[in-house]
Structure 1
């Protein structure tokens, strides 16, 4: 008898950082929102505001890129004093993922996932020694759209997408706001039939 796979629980994650790579630079905030669940019966979207996580973190180095820091508007000096210790914040994040993902396999999704996953996975391994997503539980929304739209990946931008796929929420560069916005985009993409061939 073939065993049915466990459902996937898609969690939209957005991070804000003060540079291009983790280690020399810091992840300053992480936001997450449950986007939906996919099982044998298909995909069921969730209310993206119903199950969320947000933390601001203490920087791990003195280095930063001013242009990168300006994107989020976060204050590094305030975070030095008030930000959560990365080990504490990442343990809390892992516990939250395991709680909301009970009975399913959690999958991180992002737009684009590559930047956010790089920081998130590095921080999880560095500060907790493990990832609740495993080493590959990551889905990139740009790739999902390119596949369904039948266009080259590098041609994808939100401005090229059909308006009905986009969230009506503003992209604020606040990690939780953007995770919620992206959760709506993800559910819209999962329901979208794509561009017909030809």
Structure 2
């Protein structure tokens, strides 16, 4: 096992709240830095990326969820990638960038729960080798902020973060755009000293 980690920022667009009854329609990934326990080395997240749009796996969808991404389920049913092909291709990309960095891949998301739930389910359901992140190699940026800011998770929304932490890139709801934007937030959070002298909430 390599002695450093490669962080991969990910974002998912789906047509409902959970995988199985509903579908992951697209996802984007961007390699954004390595850490060896002592030094974090950021990398430009736009330089090494993966993006896929998938065929829906059911007829069910929530119109409000679908409207967020603006993706067309009818077009995806024809032109979207087969889920098994897409998840295996994503695994191959992660394997390649991790080997190039001599690092173990760690998935990064804000918030983690939604994106991890869809990706892990899809990898376990469709990919030949399961999840390239195992079952637990992931980092929740919302939790990272709460710990550094010494604040409540419910007070760890982007609206409540210091302006200097927020990305300069726009949030477009294109999964790749947003994975790259999120990587910038990750870079800023890693560098941020936080609020070490603030009392913990009681």
Q: With the length of structure 2 as denominator, give the TM-score of the two structures.
A: 0.94
CA distance in structure 2 between the aligned counterparts of 1:112 and 1:40, rounded to whole angstroms = 24
Q: In the alignment, is residue 33 of structure 1 matched against residue 30 of structure 2?
A: yes
Query: Are 1:117 and 2:113 matched, yes or no?
Result: no
Equivalent residue in structure 2 for 1:67, among 64, 68, 86: 64
Partner of residue 46, structure 1: 43
Deviation at 1:6, TM superposition (A): 1.4
State whether residues 2 and 104 of structure 2, in contact with CA within 8 Å, keep that contact through their aligned partners in structure 1.
Answer: no
Q: Which runs of 4+ in 1 moved over 3 A?
A: none
Provide structure 2 residue ranges, at least 5 long, that are not aligned to the other structure. none
Distance 2:21 2:37 in 1: 43
Indicate the SS of the match to 2:182. helix
May I ask how many residue pairs the two structures share in their alignment? 195
1:58 equivalent in structure 2: 55
Q: CA deviation at 1:42?
A: 1.3
2 CA distance for matches of 1:106 and 1:162? Answer: 29
- Tell me the secondary structure at the aligned position of residue 179 of structure 2: helix
Residue 5 (structure 1) shift: 6.1
**Aligned-partner Cα distance in 1 for 2:2–2:144:** 21
**1:149-164 matched pairs, under 5 angstroms:** 149-164=149-164
Taking the aligned partners of 2:178 and 2:37, their CA distance within structure 1 comes to 29
RMSD: 1.1
> What residue is the counterpart of 1:18 in the other structure?
15
- Partners of 1:40 and 1:173 in 2: CA distance: 33
Structure 1 residue 21 displacement after superposition: 0.1
Separation of aligned partners in 2, 1:25 and 1:63: 6
Q: Which residue number in structure 1 is paired with residue 170 of structure 2?
A: 170
